[in-house]
Amino acid sequence: MLNGNHKTRLLSVGVSNYQSNTQSKLKCGTNDAQIIYDTFEWVLGEQLDHRHSIVAVDITADQFLAHLRTMLKDGPKARDGVQYIVFFSGHGTIADDVLDLHFIDSSFGLGTVSSVMIGEILRTAGYPNLLLILDCCFSGQAKTLVQTTALVNNKQTTVVASSLPYQESSEGETYSVFTQAICHALNKIEQEGKEVSIAHVQAELKANDFRSQTPHIIFPEGNHDLILRQRRLSEKLATKLEIDLIKKIKQSNEEVRESIWFALADEPEHVLLHVATQLFNHGEYAEPSWLVRRAVGSAVSSVKYLRSEKREICDRLLASTNWIHQCVGILACRNELADEQKSGTLKALLQSDGSNMDARWLSLLYLSDQLGGDAHDNILETISLTDFYESPWGIFELWEHCINKPQHGLELTVLVERTEKLISKLHELNRETSGLCEYIYFQNRKIFECLGEKFRLAVQESMRQNIQIDRAFSRASIRGTNETMGISKWLRSSLYGSWRGSYAPHPAFAQSTNNDLVVFLRSVKNLPMVGARMSVFEQWQTRDQDFWNENASAVEWGLQDPHPWVRRAAVKFFRVCKPKEIDDAISRLNTNVDSNIYPGKLDLIREVFRWANQLSIPQDGVYEILNEAIKVLSPFEKQALNQDASAEYLPYRL
């Protein structure tokens, strides 16, 4: 038998479109052949001999035999170091205790290949190392290919059958039930870091409930396993990799930490989950950066096969009393919210008035994604959201995520009715409504046009006085969801923004004269959209340093903006751009943040640390700048900031 370090040749066959009325068409046969090939290509890696491997769909019996003989045509010495895999998905029947595989030309006994014929080809070829995977009715009857006799005792064929000799096999919607289970088993074994072997596949299949069929695996006499590939990483190397990753994450700056987590999504799942578990399970590590928390959550959410381990870490993070861990847990389970337990946990976090807004806002974002058009009734109408009504931003977020859902097929009249209901509630709470109306003007013009005249006139008059603002942000491209994973997600985030709702560069920067741009920049501070206000600080590179040296005061309002996200972007702008005109702008920074009303306090403080270090401000001076913001920090938040300052080589400690 082979040791798992050999070349493998694969013949993957699927038949769906039978030509004769004697056999019904199958939905899954051709799909099964392709997914089996794709799975082995991923699991075997470089061991798969692509040059001598093939997917063959809807072929005749003669074509199958030709493919099989071609695969085995090398001499015995050449075959000794090769593992052969043949997969078949299609119709199977039994005649005189012999299994017949039916091909596209099957009709009244023709167009079939019997297990006896396959056995004869294997005998002629000197019984090569063959794994035969059959997804067809009665496939267990292929056991004769394995059984030895007094005359023949050197068979090296392993059969993986979808059913017992007298059982039928079941189709699925896209892939057959058995094929889907085989592929899932192979992928899970790979992600667990185990050697890819048929014994491990057998264990995974036994854990499945197949109901009407029983998969059947038959090894050659004297064998109890077939190793297809050794572990990709030895246990020793995997452990060393995990230790090195944990050390690197703890000691690196934000950019490196973020890239490590995105890259981990492309590593075996057992490595990713072990690193996440070691870092977050023991309270020794608190991730201060929202960008890195996003990368961690994205990486863990990408886990497809080690689901119980993923569930365990998500549950532990969500159950934490620390909002930083809760945020990672929310991001990690955001695609699992069809699970009532998970969605119930997020609802509990969302309605916990008086608690940190970072975790509550993420709960709102992903619960509304899951609920779609039902978010209005199941969130806005049923959950206590008092703290959201304490700021214009919170009100805009409720409208955006609980009402503005045209993509879910809701009629415009329904959206308008719900919007007017929210406006009425704001009147009852003595909240300003003009900001929401202006926000709606930019986000959904159809709804805005249906609002009452008294709401529309004030906004329309304001826009007439700010034509440049209207043109820039009414037509601006806004980043939506980013469904990619791993390095692909990092790449797209680098190009199009790291958060949903970020604005693409608008023409005002490239097309305006200096004087017009200064007027534009001063006007942006009055826009209701946080993303729009942030955008001017994220696109400053489109103008040269001389412009900012002369006109940085036009965006100084960002340091006093109500939202910490905008202030953070403004601080980073002044830190990186370093305009000469107002080097002392840090003294005018508003560092007060009510974390029950706004998210983003920790990242604002992190940016202040960097700016202060750049300006050589001593620790006492930083304390004076941050003032009340430091006094209300929890021990865990201080731990996160100290950890970050150490990794960034900043001199400040709390």
Task: Give domain status of residue 269, yes or no.
Answer: yes
Residue 132: which H helix or E strand, with range? strand 130-135
Task: Give domain status of residue 480, yes or no.
Answer: no
- The pLDDT value given to residue 150: 45
pLDDT tens for residues 455-490? 777 777 767 666 667 777 766 666 666 667 677 777
**How far is residue 503 CA from its own chain's centroid?**
22
What is the reported pTM?
0.85
Spatial contact of 559 and 588, defined as CB atoms under 8 Å apart: yes
Task: Give domain status of residue 299, yes or no.
Answer: yes
Residues 215, 254 within the same domain: no
**Rounded Cα–Cα distance for residues 152 and 220 (Å):** 12
Which of 229, 254, 285 marks a domain boundary? 229
- The pLDDT value given to residue 496: 65
**Rounded Cα–Cα distance for residues 368 and 481 (Å):** 13
Residues 223, 275 within the same domain: no
Name the nearest CA neighbour of 85 among 115, 46, 48: 48
- The pLDDT value given to residue 254: 93
- The pLDDT value given to residue 541: 76
**How far is residue 543 CA from its own chain's centroid?**
35
Q: Tokens in use for 5?
A: 């370090």
Residues 531, 621 within the same domain: yes
Question: Cβ neighbours of residue 184 under 8 Å, at least 6 residues apart?
Answer: 204, 305
Question: Cβ neighbours of residue 545 under 8 Å, at least 6 residues apart?
Answer: 577, 579
Task: Identify the CATH number of the domain in which residue 146 sits.
Answer: 3.40.50.1460
Residues 118, 261 within the same domain: no
Task: Give domain status of residue 424, yes or no.
Answer: no
Parallel/antiparallel/unpaired status of strands 82-89 and 7-14: parallel
Task: Give domain status of residue 302, yes or no.
Answer: yes
Task: Give domain status of residue 395, yes or no.
Answer: no
Residues 206, 70 within the same domain: yes
**Rounded Cα–Cα distance for residues 523 and 512 (Å):** 14
**Rounded Cα–Cα distance for residues 606 and 625 (Å):** 13
Residues 66, 165 within the same domain: yes
**Rounded Cα–Cα distance for residues 154 and 127 (Å):** 7
Residue 442 half-sphere exposure, CB side, CA atoms within 13 Å?
28
Residues 39, 174 within the same domain: yes
Residues 277, 162 within the same domain: no
Spatial contact of 23 and 136, defined as CB atoms under 8 Å apart: no
Which strands, in side-by-side order, build the sheet including 110-114? 92-95, 98-107, 110-114
Name the nearest CA neighbour of 478 among 440, 403, 531, 540: 531
Segments of the chain with pLDDT less than 50: 149-152
- The pLDDT value given to residue 75: 61
Residue 276: which H helix or E strand, with range? helix 269-280
Residues 23, 119 within the same domain: yes
Task: Give domain status of residue 572, yes or no.
Answer: yes
Q: Tokens in use for 182?
A: 């085989």
- The pLDDT value given to residue 145: 84
**Rounded Cα–Cα distance for residues 294 and 488 (Å):** 14
- The pLDDT value given to residue 223: 86
Q: Tokens in use for 328?
A: 């990672």
Residue 28 three-state SS: coil
Residues 218, 297 within the same domain: no
Residues 47, 156 within the same domain: yes
- The pLDDT value given to residue 464: 65
Work out whether the CA dihedral 619, 621, 624, 626 comes out positive or negative.
negative
Which of 336, 361, 388 marks a domain boundary? 336
Residue 261: which H helix or E strand, with range? helix 254-264
- The pLDDT value given to residue 164: 93
Domain tally, the chain: 3
Spatial contact of 383 and 374, defined as CB atoms under 8 Å apart: no
Which of 229, 248, 277 marks a domain boundary? 229
Residues 181, 246 within the same domain: no
Task: Give domain status of residue 353, yes or no.
Answer: no
- The pLDDT value given to residue 470: 72
* Residue numbers of the domain that contains 297: 239-336
- The pLDDT value given to residue 577: 85
